[in-house]
Amino acid sequence: MILDQTKYLFITTFLFLIGLSGIFLNRKNIIILLMSVELMLLAINFNLIVFSVFLDDILGQLFALLILTVAASESAIGLAILIIYYRIRGAIAIELINLIKG
Amino acid sequence: MYLSIIAFPLIGCFFSGMFGRILSPKGVAFISITCVFSSFLLSLLSVFEVGFSHCPTFIRFYPWIDSELFDAGWSFCFDSLTVSMCVTVTFISTLVHIYSTSYMSHDPHQARFMSYLSLFTFSMLMLITADNFVQLFFGWEAVGVCSYLLINFWFTRLSANKAAIKAMVINRIGDFGLALGIFVIFATFKTVDYAVVFSLVPYYTTKTVYFLQFELDLITTICILLFIGAMGKSAQLGLHTWLPDAMEGPTPVSALIHAATMVTAGVFLIIRCSFLYENSYLGLSILTIVGSATAFFAAMTGVLQNDLKKVIAYSTCSQLGYMVFACGLSNYSVSIFHLMNHAYFKALLFLSAGSIIHALADEQDMRKMGGLVQVLPFSYTMILIGSLALMGFPFLTGFYSKDVILEIAYANYNFSGIVGFWLGLLSAGFTSFYSFRLIYLTFLSNPLGFKSSMQQAKDAPFALGFPLFVLGCCSLVVGFCTKELFIGLGTPYWNNAIFILPEHIVIIDAEFLSVFIKWLPFIVSILAATLSFFLYKDMMSLLFAIYKTNFGHKFYIFVNRKWLFDKLQNELVSVSLLRLGYSTTYKLIDKGFIELFGPFGLSRLVLQVSKNVSNLQSGLLNHYAFFIFIGVLFFTVMITLFAIFSIYVDVYIFFLLLIAWLVILL
C-alpha cells in the first residue's frame, strides 16, 4: 500500500511542478499561464484526495470540493480580466505585459 | 602704584581705540602719551623702591584659573629684573608715542595706531610683570597679536599682510615650544608659579623624562622647550625670518618691536628662567652656540643689505644673538644690561631712520640717498651717535655691555665660550662695517636721490626730533651711569632675581684678561669701520670689480638674500607643508577616505543597492513568478529543513551565501 501511496504522490508533485514551471518558463501566452494555474490547483486537489483516502478522513475530499469551486470561480474571473485586458491592448502576449516596472 | 604701571597703557589704549573719532588725533595723542608717560614715571619710582631699596613686591590681584592643584592667578611680581624691563619698555614706548604723533600725522588712522601702540605696551608689561608662566604666556601671545596688528597697520598693502602673517606664524612655532615647556613644568612641579618652580629646581636636577622612548634630562628638556619659544620671539637663527619682514610696518612700530618690547621678550624669558638654565649644562651650551651663530649670521647679512631699515633690523637680530649668548655664558645681568642699552640705541637708530625716510618722501633704499649730511644734520648726528653706541665705541652706551659680553666669552674656558668669543668678535667687526656703510651711503656719499625729494627734505620737527634727542643723550650716558648698578662686581641690585651657580661666575676672570684681548673688540671695530669707510669712499670701483666676478656676484646674492634662509624655508618647509595639506590631508583624507566612508560613499551605496533591487522588478510576470517561487522555496527550506541541514552543513556557509547575495545585489 505504501508503494501505491508513493506513486500517487509522485504524480501529484510532478503535476504541480509542471504547472509551476509552466508559469515561469512560459513567455508567450497568458492563457497558458492560467491553464498552468489550473493544473497546479488540480494537482493539489489530487493530493488532497489521495491523502483523504490514505488517512481515511473525509476532510480532504471536502477541501477538494471547495477548491474545485474556488478554481472554477478563479478561472472565470481570470478569463474575464484577460478579456478586458485584450479589449484594451489587443494582445495577450506575456512579454508585452511589462508596463509596471520597479 | 604697581598695578597702575600696567593699567595706564591699557586705559590709553581703551580711550584712543574706543573714542578715537570723538577725541581727534590731538586728543588721542595727549591721552595715550599721558598714560604711557605716567606709567614710565611710576616705573622709575618702582625702580627706586624695588631695585634700590630692595623691596620686591608681589601682588595677587585676582584668581584666574583655580582648579585643584592648578592655580594660576592674575598676580604680579615686581623684582629687580621686572622693574628694569618696565622702565625700558615704558620709556621707549613713551618716546615712540611722541614720535608717532608727528610721524603718523598724515595718517587717517592715527587713533587706531596709538591704540595699538598702547596695547602693545600693556601686553609687554603683562609679560614682564607676570609671576607665573601662564600669565607670562598671556602676555607673550598678546605681544604677538599686537605685533600682527601693528605690522599689518597699513592693511591695504599686500606685503604688509604677508609680513604680519609671517610674523604671527613663525612666532606661533616658538609659542608651541613655550607652551610645551610650560606643560612639562606643570607636569613636573605641579605648579606654574615662578617662586615655587624656581625654588624646587635643585631637587630635580637628576630627574629624567621620557619622550618618544628617549630618556632626556628633565631640566634640559624644559630649557630647550622654553628656548624654542625664546627663539621665535627673539628671532634666533632658524626662526629669525619674520624679523626683517616686520619692517613692513610703520617705522615707530619697528622701533618698538625691535628696540624695547617684542624681541626682548625671549631674552627676558631666558633671564627669568636663569634658575632653570643654570642647572642644565646642555641648555646653556645651546644658548651660547645658537646665540653666537645668530649674532654672526645677522651681522654678516646686514653688511650687504640695501634697505635702510633692513640693515638696522639685522643689527637687532645680531644684538639679540649677543644677549642670548651672554645668557648662555651664565651672565644674565650682562645680558639684561645689554638689552636695556640696546633698547636705547636701537630705538634711536630706528627713529632716526624713520626721520630720514620721512624727510625723503618714504624712500628706503640706501642706494638712492647720499649727501644727506648737508640736508639733515640733526638726523646725521643722532644716527652717528646710535651707530657708535651700537659698534661699542668707548664710553658710549654699547661699549659697557658689548665689550663685557666678549670679555666674559673669552673668560669662559670651554668650547662654547671660545666659539662665542670668536663669532662675537667677527660680528662686532661686521657690525661696525655695516654701521659705517649705512652712514656713508646715506649721508656722506654723493647725492643719488631724486632732486625733488632732496629739495623738500627738511630736518625733523620738534615732535620727531625730541625723542631722538632724548634717546641720543641716553645712548651717550646711560651705559656709563648704570654700569656699576647692573653689572658692577657684587652689585646688590639684582637681589635674587637672577641666579648664577657659583662655578659659573666668570666676571672676575673677565677682569683679569690680558689687555690685548680687552682691546681686541675695539681694534676690530675701528678697523672694520675704517675699512668700510675707505672701501665705499675711494675703492668703489674695486668693490664693483669684485661684484662683477662670478664668485663675487654669487657671494653678494647669497648674503643679500639673507643666506637664502627664506628660500630654503619656503621651498623645503612651507611648500611641502602646503602640498601635504592640499594633496594628503585635504584631497586624500578629507575629500577621499572620510567622504567615501562617510556621507558621499554611503549615500551612493544606498542609491546603488536600491536601484539594483528595484531593477529586479522587471515588469515581466514570469520573473515575478520565479521570485515568488524562489522566495517560498527559501523560506520553506530555511524553516523546515534548517535543523536537518545544519548537522551536515556548517552554519557559516549561510553567511557566505548571504554575502554572495549582497554582492550580486550591489
How far away is chain A from the Cα of B633, in angstroms, using its nearest Cα? 12
Q: How confident is the model at residue A2 (pLDDT cuts 50, 70, 90)?
A: low
In a domain, B238, yes or no: no
For residue B644, count CB atoms less than 10 angstroms from its CB and return exposed for 0-12, middle for 13-18, buried for 19 or more. Answer: exposed
Q: Which residue in B55, B52, B71 sits closest to B63, CA to CA?
A: B71
What was the pLDDT predicted at A76? 94
Quick count: other Cβ atoms within 10 Å of Cβ B512? 8
- Containing domain of residue A37, as a range? 5-89
- pLDDT(B553) > 70: yes
In this model, does residue B401 exceed pLDDT 60? yes
| Mean pLDDT score, B91-116 | 92
* pLDDT at residue B219, rounded to an integer: 92
Chain A interface includes B611 (CB < 8 A): no
pLDDT tens by residue, B598-630: 888 899 988 988 888 888 888 777 788 888 888
Q: Is the pLDDT of residue B218 over 70?
A: yes
Cβ B617–A102 below 8 Å, yes or no? yes
Residue of A nearest to B610 (CA): A102
Residues B484 and B623 in one domain: no
pLDDT in tens, B263-309: 999 999 999 999 999 999 999 999 999 999 999 999 999 998 989 99
- Domain-ending residue, one of B447, B469, B494: B494
pLDDT over 90 at B488, yes or no: no
Q: How many domains does chain B have?
A: 2
Judge whether A46 lies within some domain.
yes
pLDDT at residue B180 above 90?
Answer: yes
Range of the domain at B645: 614-666
Listed residues B461, B494, B527: the one ending a domain? B494
Residue A52 lies in a domain: yes
Q: Report d(CA B434, CA B336) in Å as an integer.
A: 24
The answer to whether the CB of B406 falls within 8 A of the CB of B521 is yes
Residue A79 lies in a domain: yes
Residue B650 reports pLDDT greater than 80:
no
Nearest to A24 among B615, B616, B626 (CB): B626
Q: Which residue of A has its CA nearest to B613?
A: A102
Inter-chain residue contact A102 with B623, CB threshold 8 Å: no
ipTM: 0.82
**Cell numbers given for B166:** 609671517
Question: For testing the chain B interface, which of A20, A23, A24 should be mutated: the one with the most B CBs within 10 Å?
Answer: A24
Say if B627 is an interface residue toward chain A (CB within 8 Å): no
Chain A interface includes B621 (CB < 8 A): yes
CATH number of residue A29's parent domain: 1.10.287.3510
Model pLDDT, residue A66: 95
Residue A95 inside a domain? The answer is: no
Show the cell assigned to B43: 616705573
Chain A: give the shortest CA distance to residue B613, in Å.
8
Q: CA nearest B618 in A: which residue?
A: A101
pLDDT for the residue B42: 95
Residue B213's φ and ψ, nearest 5 degrees, are 70, 10
Count of domains forming chain A: 1
Distances (CA, A) of B500 to B21, B161, B244, B376: 52, 43, 33, 47
Task: Please list every residue in chain B whose beta carbon sits closer than 8 Å to the beta carbon of residue A100.
Answer: 617, 619
Q: What's the confidence (pLDDT) of residue B504? A: 85
Q: Spell out a b/e string for B246-279, using b for 16 or more CB atoms within 10 Å of the CB, else e.
A: bbbbbbbbbbbbbbbbbbbbbbbbbbbbbbbbbb
pLDDT at A3: 62
CB contact under 8 A, A94 and B625: no
Average pLDDT, chain B: 89
d(CA B234, CA B126): 17
End position of a domain, from candidates B468, B494, B520: B494
Question: What pLDDT is attached to residue A1?
Answer: 56
**Which amino acid is located at A46 in the chain?**
F
Residue of A26, A27, A98 with shortest CB distance to B619: A98
- Whether residue A9 lies inside any domain: the answer is yes
pLDDT tens column, B336-394: 999 999 999 999 999 999 999 888 888 888 888 888 888 889 999 999 999 999 988 88
Residue A6 burial (CB < 10 Å; 0-12/13-18/19+)?
Answer: exposed
Residue B173 confidence class, pLDDT cut points 50, 70, 90: very high
Q: Tell me the percentage of chain B whose pLDDT exceeds 90.
A: 49
